[in-house]
Amino acid sequence: MTGFVADTTDLLARTPILLRTLLGGLPASWTDTPDVADGWRPRDVVGHLITGELTDWMTRTQRILEDGTAVPFDRFERFAMLERDAGVPLDDLLDRFAELRQANLARLATMVNETDLNRRGMHPALGEVTLRQLLAAWAVHDLDHIGQIYAGLAGSHDPDVGPWKAYLGILLRRDDPSAVPG
């Protein structure tokens, strides 16, 4: 496997395995804290990723291939998970996400190849985008939100590290985003 589609799929396929490794059965002492005040707990992030599998990335891929720029993408419901997933255990959300991601990547493999990457679609706010940009954004969106999960996990133990907080940028940035780069 080489090429942009294969390399992007490689990363996308790791996310559900990784989230189970990180969060499956993890004690609530780690998982009940949002990334920032009024932010998302790990379960909310997994729910948001589920929404992306249900309504965003593959739906938009299909729209690019079928309609090009003629029909703009539907908007992405960023908070759909808060009501939909209320009361669903985190481990069930991880399973649900894994099933959806696996099915979507199987579909992607049948629908898209390297020669499609410059095909264009219309984002309702961002304007014209390419399929290549959509697939890259899908993968980086995973990375972005997993980073948010890490911030929540770290935040759960903010009171426990004592003076070490001064060295832990992931905690300092929860209080002040400009505190420590990187």
Residues in Cβ contact with 16 at an 8 Å cutoff, skipping those fewer than 6 apart: 94, 97, 98, 101, 102
Q: How far is the CB of 85 from its own copies (least distance, A)?
A: 19
Assess contact for 5 and 117: CB atoms under 8 A. yes
> Binder to its own copies among 83, 86, 110, 127 (CB under 8 A)?
127
Q: At 33, phi and psi to the nearest 5?
A: -120, 135
Beta-strand ranges (E) seen in the chain are: 120-123, 127-130
Closest CA to 84 of 57, 46, 56: 46
> Binder to its own copies among 5, 12, 21, 96 (CB under 8 A)?
21
Residue 118 touching its own copies (CB under 8 A): no
Q: How far is the CB of 8 from its own copies (least distance, A)?
A: 8
| Residues that bind its own copies in the complex, under the rule CB under 8 A | 2, 4, 7, 10-11, 14, 17-18, 21-22, 26-27, 29-30, 35-36, 39, 123, 126-127, 129-130, 132-134, 136-137, 139-141, 143-144, 146-148, 150-151, 153-154, 157, 160-164, 166-171, 173-174, 177-182
